[in-house]
Amino acid sequence: MNEQQNNESSAGPVATGNIERAQQISIPVTNASGSQTQPVSNVYLNDVKSFFSKSLLQIIKDIFSQPIKGTLGIFTNAGSEAYQQGFILIITTVVFYIVVPYIMAGSEIRSAIGFGAFFKLGLSAGLVLVIISALTFIVKAVSGKPDFKKELLTGGICGIPLMLILLTIAILMMFNKDSMSLLNPESLIQQGIFSGIIMLYLLLMLFNIIQQSFKASGTNDALRWYLSPLVICIGFYIGVKIASSLFMPSMGGYGNGFGY
């Protein structure tokens, strides 16, 4: 009888110790979901900072200083970070197309159409880039080696010349604001040969980015030559149509300025 009581009494502390140890184990696991959030966010933040300070500058250098070899190298050497880089570039383009037109539009237009119109303009630019990525993926699925995560990098890099053309328009508006409007692309064409050359370089850069992306995936010469301009034109056409049906009706009379 005494032996049984001794066993029960000895089992009590053991069980209590096990419970305490289990609680000690469970507490870090419970806290881990909260405590690991900050380090993970720091990792993503560091990746973004590293991209803007190093990778982006290298990408810009490659597509301008070595339009053929450099651009091809971007896609050939693209690794697991290509998805993240493409996503950052697309988001950057969206933000750029929100902020720059909002600043340059002037107080009268801002008060008339509100911030929402500029936000939708930025979303429209991002939509075009995503559609271009999807189209390149479809072409590569037939003629090359598709990888949709890497195709976001194709659309993201196409955002660079789009941001440059918007920046150029903003600079031209500073010197010729009376005859130009960010809400009317036709006003850029009316500026003459200089703006025409800029548009030509923009198109050639976009075509080249798509061509080198196709080449990196093994698409043959004839297909990438003919399909690259087609992908850009169709991408813009579909993106503009979708954006105009979703966004532009809420912009009132100013929506006509986009030519939709």
Q: Is the pLDDT of residue 136 over 60?
A: yes
Q: Specify the amino acid at residue 258.
A: F
Of 223 and 248, which is predicted with more confidence? Answer: 223
| Cα–Cα distance, 109 to 89 (Å, whole number) | 28
Return the pLDDT at 48: 81
The separation between the first and the last C-alpha atoms of the chain, rounded to the nearest angstrom, is 94
Q: Report whether 93 contacts 56 (CB < 8 A).
A: no
The structure tokens listed for 227 are: 């399909």
**Confidence class for position 23, pLDDT limits 50, 70, 90:** very low
By mean pLDDT, which of 88-97, 150-159, 226-235, 245-254 is the weakest?
245-254
**Confidence class for position 179, pLDDT limits 50, 70, 90:** low
Q: φ, ψ for residue 210 (rounded to 5)? A: -65, -40
| Cα–Cα distance, 43 to 51 (Å, whole number) | 12
Q: Is residue 232 part of a domain?
A: yes
| Cα–Cα distance, 121 to 228 (Å, whole number) | 25
Q: Is the pLDDT of residue 176 over 80?
A: no
Rounded mean pLDDT of 81-91?
90
Q: Is residue 26 part of a domain?
A: no
Q: Is the pLDDT of residue 173 over 80?
A: no
Q: Would you call 184 helix, strand, or coil by DSSP?
A: strand
Q: Is residue 15 part of a domain?
A: no
Domain that includes residue 66, residue range: 52-258
Q: Enter the pTM of the model.
A: 0.74
Q: Is residue 119 part of a domain?
A: yes
Q: Would you call 167 helix, strand, or coil by DSSP?
A: helix
Q: Is residue 203 part of a domain?
A: yes
Give me the helices (H) in the chain, please.
2-35, 37-50, 56-65, 69-76, 82-105, 107-143, 148-175, 186-189, 193-216, 221-246
Return the pLDDT at 28: 42
CB atoms within 10 A of CB 13: 9
Q: Report whether 162 contacts 126 (CB < 8 A).
A: no
Return the pLDDT at 233: 93
Q: How many domains does the chain have?
A: 1
Of 257 and 87, which is predicted with more confidence? Answer: 87
The structure tokens listed for 257 are: 């300025």
The structure tokens listed for 109 are: 């237009």
Q: Is residue 33 part of a domain?
A: no
Q: Is residue 152 part of a domain?
A: yes
Please report how the helices 148-175 and 69-76 are oriented relative to each other, as an axis angle in degrees rounded to 10.
140
CA angle 93, 234, 76 (to 5 degrees): 60
The structure tokens listed for 23 are: 């609680």
